[in-house]
Amino acid sequence: MADLRDLYQEVILEHSKAPRNYRELKPADHQAQGYNPLCGDRFTIYLQMDADRIRDISFQGSGCAISKASASMMTQSLKGKTRTEAHELFNNFHEVVTGQGGGRDQAELGKLAVFSGVCEFPLRVKCATLAWHTLEAALEGKQEAVSTE
């Protein structure tokens, strides 16, 4: 049986209570909104770019512990990354939270590996990935709010 502590790891709880980079970036080069209609989670991601590289990234919004911690830790791990690196990190992250990572070395994920427990809770995958989907939309410059549905 899945263990709640695999999902609600200390690091995740701590980030959900005190999210990092929780502010609006002004002016933002890119921003996008993400929405999970199932539970009402709603986030905005802000980006400042140096050409192809993410100079600064922040977020605001409301949501469950998983989605908020995921957004917070995502912003930490993306500062200074290029678009391609960000995209690859999301792919790795997605594989791990959906349990498709196989033998992939979770070291590539660094601190984000704490979300590996999410794969035991399929209903919560959308919570963990909402911020990342929103990030992709921001990088692509989409205008419409991203929905997990």
Partner 1 sequence: MSTVVRLPEDAAARPFSPPFNVQKIRADFPILEEMARGHHLVYLDNAATSQKPRAVIDAIVGYYEHGNANIHRGVHYLSEKATQDFESARQAVQRFLRAKQASEIIFVRSATEAINLVAQTYGRVHLGEGDEVVISAMEHHSNIVPWQLLCEQKRARLVIAPINDAGELILHEFEHLLGARTRIVAVGHVSNALGTINPLPEIIAMAHKKHIPVLVDGAQAAPHLSIDVQALDADFYAISGHKMYGPTGIGVLYGKIALLDEMPPYQGGGDMISSVTFEKTVYNKVPHKFEAGTPDMSGAVGLHAAIDYLDGIGMDNIARYEHELLAYASEELSAISGVRLIGTARQKASVLSFIIEGIHPHDVGTILDQEGIAVRTGHHCAQPVMERFGIDATARASFALYNTREEIDALVGGIQKVKEVFA
Does 133 help bind partner 1 (rule: CB under 8 A)?
no
Q: Between residues 35 and 132, which has the closer beta carbon with respect to partner 1?
A: 35
Of 42, 54, 13, 48, nearest in space to 28 by CA: 48
The verdict on 42 binding partner 1 (CB under 8 A) reads yes
What is the C-alpha separation between 134 and 32, in angstroms, rounded?
Answer: 6
Cβ 144 to partner 1 shortest distance, Å: 19
144 DSSP 8-state letter: S
Residue number, 41 or 92, with CB nearest to partner 1: 41
Per CB under 8 A, does 22 bind partner 1? Answer: no
Contact 76, 64 (CB under 8 A): no
Shortest Å distance, C-beta 37 to partner 1: 8
With a CB cutoff of 8 Å and minimum separation 6, the contacts of 136 are 87, 90, 146
- Residue 146 Cβ vs partner 1, minimum distance, rounded to whole Å: 17
**77 touches 108 (CB < 8 A):** no
CB 93 within 8 A of CB 115: yes
Interaction residues for partner 1, span 66-125 (CB under 8 A): 66, 68, 121, 123-124
Residue 62 contacts partner 1 per CB under 8 A: yes
Question: In whole angstroms, how close is the CB of 62 to partner 1 at the nearest point?
Answer: 6
